[in-house]
């Protein structure tokens, strides 16, 4: 391949905003600049667990420094323990390191254990006050986490370049609404259904993270997603544009360059290092596969999406629970479970260094 030959990565960048789905700064240096950088607990744990030729943690000093920072801040963060603050600090440090190779946002995912955050109230205490209290609680967790820590670690870092990722539960969407109202950019993540997609745009999310494959495919090599969410990416992007909504789709959870190329034309596509390298070494003129075919499907009026019900909690919960015979809800719950396991792994990593 000659130096001037267009690669699939070059071609993709003419059709979609390409994001880095990794916290590996070397990939950012080599293949950037990227638009955004997406991350989550699994990505952070993978980066922080990397070792050198001698088996030593590459990011050992970053971990130690983050723990020292967390210990110094415990009096300011009474609702969180040292491990949780340290995990947030480690993630922020990794994000800051990559920021020079981005033109857009650094995405940081909130603790997945808060995905269904509810106050310990009685079953019938679903008043407006309790709903506001829940949103305030989530806001406090985020402000005392990523935003405040980012300001602390680097006062010169523009926190307006942070995007907060929150799993697309009903509670998560309400937190997104509150944050967006306060000028904090959000992404509703782990979306695999139209009820989630329409809810996210209704509350004003800047982005939605549409998972083409169930998250489990990245944790279990034998697992195959038989119901890939290509149509959700297409339908949600059509819906947002038709209704003049500013929400943009970020396509995520991809496992092949074939999947990536048929999704060319999505607002954003976030790509892991292995697939970025494959795209960057594949000549575009040799590609025989389809390009952007997902968005070339003709839809009838009967397939139009109804966004009604996104304001009423009971209506939305019922619609989501019924979507795809309950599979959409199960898909989200499994993603939250897997992310929570990685949150535990990150906290265990901190505990080993305490």
Domain spans of the chain, in order of start: 8-116+133-353
Question: Residues 15-61: pLDDT tens digits?
Answer: 999 999 999 999 999 999 999 999 999 999 999 999 999 999 999 99
Q: What is the separation, in whole angstroms, between the first and last Cα of the chain?
A: 50
pLDDT at 77: 65
pLDDT above 90 coverage of the chain, percent: 80
pLDDT at 78: 67
Question: Residues 234-276: pLDDT tens digits?
Answer: 999 999 999 999 999 999 999 999 999 999 999 999 999 999 9
CA pair distance 331, 215, nearest whole angstrom? 8
Mean residue pLDDT across the chain: 89
CA pair distance 71, 96, nearest whole angstrom? 21
Q: Is the pLDDT of residue 328 over 70?
A: yes
Q: Stretch 151-167: mean pLDDT, rounded? A: 95
pLDDT classification of 80: cutoffs 50, 70, 90: low
Q: Between 173 and 2, where is the model more confident?
A: 173
Q: Stretch 91-106: mean pLDDT, rounded? A: 98
Whether domain 8-116+133-353 has CATH 1.10.10.60: the reply is: no
pLDDT at 117: 73
For residue 70, give both structure tokens: 């967390």
pLDDT classification of 73: cutoffs 50, 70, 90: confident
Which pairing describes strands 106-109 and 162-167: parallel, antiparallel, or unpaired?
A: parallel
Long-range Cβ contacts of 178-185 (<8 Å, 24+ apart): 178/135, 178/136, 178/138, 178/139, 179/139, 179/142, 180/204, 180/205, 180/206, 182/139, 184/142, 184/147, 185/105, 185/160
pLDDT at 213: 98
pLDDT at 64: 98
pLDDT at 283: 97
Question: Residues 110-121: pLDDT tens digits?
Answer: 999 999 873 321
- The three-class DSSP label of residue 177 is helix
Q: Which DSSP string corresponds to 43-106?
A: HHHHHHT-B-TTS-BTTHHHHHHHHHHHHHTTTT-TTS-HHHHHHHHHHHHHHHHHGGGBSSPE
CB atoms under 10 Å from CB of 177, counted, come to: 18
pLDDT at 125: 16
Beta bridge partners of 186: 164
Q: Is the pLDDT of residue 191 over 90?
A: yes
pLDDT at 196: 98
- Contact by Cβ (8 Å): 65, 76: no
Largest Cα separation within the chain, whole Å, is 68
CA pair distance 58, 321, nearest whole angstrom? 43
Strands in 106-109's sheet, in edge-to-edge order, are 17-20, 268-271, 248-252, 207-211, 185-191, 162-167, 106-109
Q: Stretch 185-199: mean pLDDT, rounded? A: 97
- Contact by Cβ (8 Å): 178, 186: no
CA pair distance 266, 249, nearest whole angstrom? 7
Which pairing describes strands 185-191 and 106-109: parallel, antiparallel, or unpaired?
A: unpaired
pLDDT classification of 199: cutoffs 50, 70, 90: very high
Which residue is listed with tokens 């240096």? 29
pLDDT classification of 128: cutoffs 50, 70, 90: very low
Q: Between 233 and 137, where is the model more confident?
A: 233
- Contact by Cβ (8 Å): 71, 82: yes
pLDDT at 2: 52
pLDDT above 70 coverage of the chain, percent: 87
Nearest CA to 108 out of 254, 207, 32, 191 is that of 207
pLDDT at 145: 72
């Amino acid at each position: 391949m000659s130096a001037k030959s267009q690669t699939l990565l070059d071609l993709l960048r003419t059709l979609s905003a390409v994001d880095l789905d990794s916290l590996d700064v070397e990939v950012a240096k080599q293949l950037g600049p990227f638009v955004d950088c997406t991350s989550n607990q699994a990505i952070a744990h993978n980066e922080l667990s990397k070792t050198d030729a001698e088996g030593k943690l590459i990011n050992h000093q970053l971990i130690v420094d983050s723990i020292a920072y967390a210990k110094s801040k415990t009096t300011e963060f009474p609702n969180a323990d040292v491990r949780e603050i340290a995990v947030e600090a480690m993630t922020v440090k990794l994000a800051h390191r990559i920021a020079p190779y981005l033109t857009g946002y650094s995405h940081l995912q909130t603790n997945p254990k808060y995905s269904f955050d509810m106050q310990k109230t009685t079953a019938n205490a679903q008043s407006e006050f309790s709903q506001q209290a829940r949103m305030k609680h989530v806001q406090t967790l985020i402000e005392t986490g990523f935003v405040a820590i980012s300001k602390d670690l680097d006062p010169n870092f523009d926190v307006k370049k942070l995007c907060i990722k929150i799993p697309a539960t009903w509670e998560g969407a309400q937190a997104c609404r509150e944050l967006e109202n306060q000028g904090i950019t959000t992404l509703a993540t782990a979306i695999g259904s139209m009820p989630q997609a329409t809810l996210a745009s209704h509350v004003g999310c800047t982005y939605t993270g549409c998972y083409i494959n169930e998250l489990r495919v990245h944790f279990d090599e034998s697992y195959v997603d038989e119901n890939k969410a290509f149509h959700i990416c297409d339908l949600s992007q059509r819906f947002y544009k038709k209704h003049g909504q500013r929400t943009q789709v970020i396509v995520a959870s991809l496992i092949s360059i074939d999947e990536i190329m048929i999704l060319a034309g999505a607002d954003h596509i976030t790509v892991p290092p292995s697939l970025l390298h494959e795209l960057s070494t594949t000549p575009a003129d040799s590609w025989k596969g389809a390009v952007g075919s997902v968005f070339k499907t003709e839809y009838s009026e009967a397939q139009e999406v109804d966004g009604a019900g996104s304001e009423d909690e009971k209506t939305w919960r019922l619609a989501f629970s019924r979507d795809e015979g309950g599979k959409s809800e199960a898909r989200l719950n499994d993603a939250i479970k897997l992310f929570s396991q990685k949150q535990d792994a990150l906290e265990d990593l901190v505990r080993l260094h305490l």
